[in-house]
Amino acid sequence: MKFVTDPPIAVKINKMRQRVRWQEPLIVEQGIDQTRLAFEDGWGDSPEFSFLVVGDTGSGSHGTDNPQRRVAEQMMVHRDDCRFLLHTGDVIYLVGSSEFYLENFIKPYRELLVGGEHPERVAYDQMVFTLPFLPVPGNHDYYDLPFLYGLLVQTTLPLRRLLPVGLDLDVGWHGSRQGNAYARAFLDYLCRFRGELGHHLESHYTAKTETGRCLLYEPGRFTRLPNRYYTFRSGGIDFFALDSNTFNAPAPLPATREGDNTRRSLEERRNELEQQKLQLLEDSARLGADQLENADQLDDLRAKLEQIEEVKIDIDKQLASDQTTTVDFEQLDWLQQKLIESWNTAEVRGRVIYLHHPPYVTEATKWHQAQTLAIRQRLRQVFDGVAKVVGSQTEGRPLVDLIFTGHAHCLEHLQTVDTGHADSNLNWIICGGSGYSLRRQRSEGPELMETFEDGDTRLVARSLRFVGRHGKGSQKRRPYSFLRIDVQDGRPPKFIVRPFITERFHHQWSNSHLEPFNV
């Protein structure tokens, strides 16, 4: 039985459209841009500012430890110096369920919430932030739980509490309900309105921009996002938040002998992973007799089990790709057009993109996933389209100054080389090690080679810094991380990236920071 299921892309798109009443007549008539977010006058005018970045956080306590809370406590030291916080996705593990928002989000980030001194009183769908909290959805925020599995988990809960079962997978009765929990927690959930929609639009869509009226984000009062993907401007920097869950579908397998061979290999690999999963469950039951003593080993097993499920989902996407592949071209076309507009706006001096899935990564399981290639190819198409239009306007600058992603449970800084596309010579930063189980770097090393359609294999990117799980046995280290980014004045702007670490080693926690670097 599957632990989790991933809704089809078409379902994700249509459900999210319904939730924000995407481009309904009343919204269009009032000239509202549902992809734009603005802040109160003067809030984001200063060209020098700082912001925070976290990702892949949504885990509760495991045993006596809560890595996400450790990261949050260290991060709060910087709260008053920072303008906002970006989240690169996977807000709630394992299946984005509303049941886990209290333990896995509200309590860890209580200092950021109005009424957070009493977190148990904060409803997940009525959260108001004191510091702008600007997430994108991760794959786990869309996952669902098969009904029979949820029923099995809950009906055996009393028995599992008595028996030595070691794995707590953070699943309850249901999953995200196709991303509904994320939408109710963070988006302006317009489908809840009937006759009051007009009044709501007049009250909260009051910011005026060159693209029309848009949603006004008011920390401490009304903190909702207009859509699952959106843009905002701060200090002359344009930020683009993407939902990569809707353009990560692998290309269809070819209807050839080679395609048939690939299918058989994938099916064999999937069966192997299923056997590995069963063995992990047996091991967890054996270790669960003393959960406190074996907490680190159980954490490893939990990470491996989640990793296996992730790889199986990637295989399932490839096996299903002989059908018509759905790609969110509406979002990709939007990004391309907005980047072109950004380059043609005199007051804009820089651009930042953040999304969940990384197109470049050296974490152990991600580089060869079909979803990674799909994200890489589709972003290249967007960047190539932008470069074709803006041409010499860039004056040798990269199209985008920084791209933040999550999904890989680590902190990593990569740079592309000449890829043959407009994603060459860009800085890619993965911030996905902020609370959930960490992963190791792949054994092949920091250089990423890609095979192109002409059969040529060449270097496309290098990893310059990787922070993830390392060491073995008693020397195993778990360095969880977040980022502070200091934006300096100037055109082009300079970004100072400051990585902060909270590390678990020998059952003890310590805080530190790494040397900052400029991009």
Smallest Cα–Cα separation from 336: which of 422, 426, 406?
422
Please say whether the beta carbons of 40 and 349 come within 8 A.
no
Q: Report the share of the chain in percent with pLDDT over 90.
A: 73
Cα 35 to Cα 127, 266, 307, 493, 500, distances in angstroms? 21, 38, 33, 25, 31
Smallest Cα–Cα separation from 303: which of 283, 333, 318, 323?
283
Query: What integer is the mean pLDDT of 407-420?
Result: 97
Smallest Cα–Cα separation from 168: which of 327, 305, 270?
305
- Average pLDDT taken over every residue of the chain: 91
Query: What integer is the mean pLDDT of 247-267?
Result: 87
pLDDT tens figures, 75-92: 999 999 999 999 999 999
pLDDT band of residue 62 (cuts 50, 70, 90) is: low
Smallest Cα–Cα separation from 408: which of 357, 455, 457?
357
Residue located via tokens 């997978």: 169
First to last CA, the chain: 46
Q: Does domain 9-252+320-518 have CATH number 3.40.50.720?
A: no
pLDDT at 446 over 60: yes
Dihedrals φ, ψ of 134, to 5°? -125, 90
- Dihedral sign (CA 459, 386, 9, 96): positive
pLDDT at residue 162, as a whole number: 38
Query: What integer is the mean pLDDT of 398-405?
Result: 97
Distance CA 246, CA 384 (A): 20
pLDDT at 290 over 80: no
Distance CA 222, CA 216 (A): 8
pLDDT band of residue 167 (cuts 50, 70, 90) is: very low
Distance CA 128, CA 113 (A): 6
pLDDT tens figures, 180-206: 999 999 999 999 998 899 999 999 999
pLDDT at residue 253, as a whole number: 83
Distance CA 211, CA 292 (A): 55
Smallest Cα–Cα separation from 433: which of 468, 465, 477, 464?
468
Smallest Cα–Cα separation from 206: which of 191, 192, 188?
188
More confident residue, 197 or 296: 197
Query: What integer is the mean pLDDT of 305-318?
Result: 86
Distance CA 362, CA 329 (A): 27
pLDDT tens figures, 91-124: 999 899 999 999 999 999 999 999 999 999 999 9
pLDDT at 147 over 60: yes
Residue located via tokens 């950004």: 342
pLDDT at 226 over 90: yes
Query: What integer is the mean pLDDT of 492-506?
Result: 95
Residue 365 Rama label (left phi>0; alpha psi -120 to 50; beta): alpha
pLDDT at residue 168, as a whole number: 54
Distance CA 102, CA 381 (A): 40
For 203-212, 230-239, 294-303, which range has the lowest pLDDT when averaged over its residues?
A: 294-303
DSSP 368: T
pLDDT at 452 over 50: yes
Cα 306 to Cα 196, 466, 497, distances in angstroms? 43, 21, 30
